[in-house]
Amino acid sequence: MHWKKVIPEYQKQEWDPDQEKYCGIFHFRFWRFGKWMDVVIDDRLPSHGGKLLFCHSLSENEFWSALLEKAYAKLAGCYEALDGGNTADALVDFTGGVSQSIDLLEGGFSEDEKAAAELFAEMEKAHSRGALLSCSIRATTAAEMEARMDTGLVKGHAYSVTDVRRVRLGEGFTAFFKSEKLNMIRMRNPWGAKEWNGPWSDESEEWNRVGHSELQRLGMTVENDGEFWMSFDDWYKYFTDAIICRIINTSVMSIHKTWEEVMLVGQWRTHADPLQNRAGGCRNNRSTFLQNPQFMFDVTKDHDTIMINLQQKDKRHEKKHGGGEALSIGFEVFSVEQNREYRMHSNQDKVEGSEYINSCSVFRRMELKKGRYVILPTTFDPNLEGDFLIRVFADVKSHCRELIKDQPDQTCWTGLCGYPSYVTSIHLIKTLGLPGSDISPLAKISCGGEKVKSSVLAGSSPEFETKGLFYHKKPNKPIIIEVLDHGLIQSDTLGRVEVPADVTEEKSFIILQLRSKEGRDAGKVHLWVHTRTELTDI
């Protein structure tokens, strides 16, 4: 249970009428910036006229929620810092999970039945695996905050989702075999009152369509307790925002799906030297964007699900000093050369990215092909400083690490053997017309002692999508592309070609003729090539 992490040894902290055993202090824990932080408070709670001013339970003898709120306020700096807080950020603080924000308006679920069905399946799966879900109706003005709508719903108010269920309609065996189900969501208003009054509300006639056994399974009650059901169609029609806070399973001992996690800390910091500046802003700032911190990871399977969470350091404790505003943050993911070990200095192929929001946490789930990728976490505007945490989850080890160096080091060996004067990036897109039909092509790009290999594909026109980066001392040093027919014992060469490495301002698209060992045409390769003399240009 999540609350056992937040309230450790809760039984020992229970109030004891024996005054010698009761010391009036309480211990709580919150997840902040990659660590569980301890907060200790006393039992003095803000009140007026014998009534608690802020969070309170329906029972006058129950104080755990008020004590928890006080501990959270202490962590944030003051009670004022909790006003108008972000639900997604709070869920992360209480669980150590990762929050995904969903804009139900921009999602267009009312017009796209497939997207709506996928969202329901995602929420149902997340809820069954212990995720915390929340939803709200956006208030566009201060006057709309906490305003009750005709439907009974309240704007600017966070509702907790307590169940996501496919409800069986009808009664008896006929209903079972007919298997007519309705996608439904159960929610709770934290105020404990003011419920939805539309279809499927507590006393609506729609519940007559549900059999007695199904009602018992749902635990359906007719009380003004703040908990109510809605059909999924009505839910995304009236609510504007949803949050899924996933508790990612990283345990090596679990029988359920587990994830490999890498957690790294970084900084956005300004500097006069462009090579040392790390506060370049979003992609709109073309001249400084690539100066941001860069993190590289590998996808070693043919396809893998990758989850990336970017979290900035919380500044709510600065509210009482006039600060505390969260930066607008986001990140972009680029496909790079398989052997890249140094920072990107020119634009690569963008494959994914998050929205930019002024939240403590930004999350994105994506499906990526085998290869090497670079994440650029940024603020929206340049020259803004802050600390951040980046978490990368993958099915297998991603070897995520920060790219620190801009180019190869100069050592005593480079003094003897020579230091590279050129850098070439090659992106082999595809080949056409390879000899033979029942073949398993494998592409190899090499320069000097450096080699990059593609995956083994099939057919005479494979799309390799293989990238390599090569540092070399002479422009006429050949870069060779070789296409092989992969075999279990040996691989036969189908064709090869030398790639010209002419220095150009921009990358060039070229088509080259492959030649067999006998000098015959062996198909063509399509590729991008970019060579520069300045090693920090690519």
Residues with a known catalytic role: 157, 189
Residue 314 to residue 279: CA distance in whole angstroms:
18
Contact 278, 406 (CB under 8 A): no
Query: DSSP characters for 215-248?
Result: HHHHT---SSSSEEEEEHHHHHHH--EEEEEE--
DSSP class of residue 341 equals -
- Tokens 């069986």 belong to residue: 168
Contact 460, 512 (CB under 8 A): no
Q: Using CA atoms in the order 111, 117, 118, 123, what is the torsion angle rounded to 10 degrees?
A: 120
Which residues lie below 8 Å from residue 74, measured CB to CB, with a gap of 6+?
39, 41
Residue 494 to residue 512: CA distance in whole angstroms:
14
Backbone angles phi, psi at 380, to 5 degrees: -70, -45
Residue 252 to residue 533: CA distance in whole angstroms:
47
DSSP class of residue 82 equals G
Residue 496 to residue 484: CA distance in whole angstroms:
9
Sign of CA dihedral 55, 61, 64, 68: positive
Contact 348, 314 (CB under 8 A): no
Q: Using CA atoms in the order 43, 48, 51, 56, what is the torsion angle rounded to 10 degrees?
A: -60
Which residues lie below 8 Å from residue 219, measured CB to CB, with a gap of 6+?
none
Cα–Cα distance list, 167 to 120, 121, 129, 227, 303 (Å): 13, 14, 19, 17, 35
At residue 339, the 3 state secondary structure works out as coil
| Residue closest to 195 by CA, chosen among 245, 235, 229 | 229
Residue 49 to residue 382: CA distance in whole angstroms:
50
CB-count burial class (<10 Å; 0-12, 13-18, 19+) for 144: middle
Residue 424 to residue 499: CA distance in whole angstroms:
10
Residue 61 to residue 64: CA distance in whole angstroms:
10
- Determine if residue 183 is left, alpha or beta; phi over 0 gives left, psi from -120 to 50 gives alpha, anything else beta: beta
Contact 330, 268 (CB under 8 A): no
CB-count burial class (<10 Å; 0-12, 13-18, 19+) for 236: buried
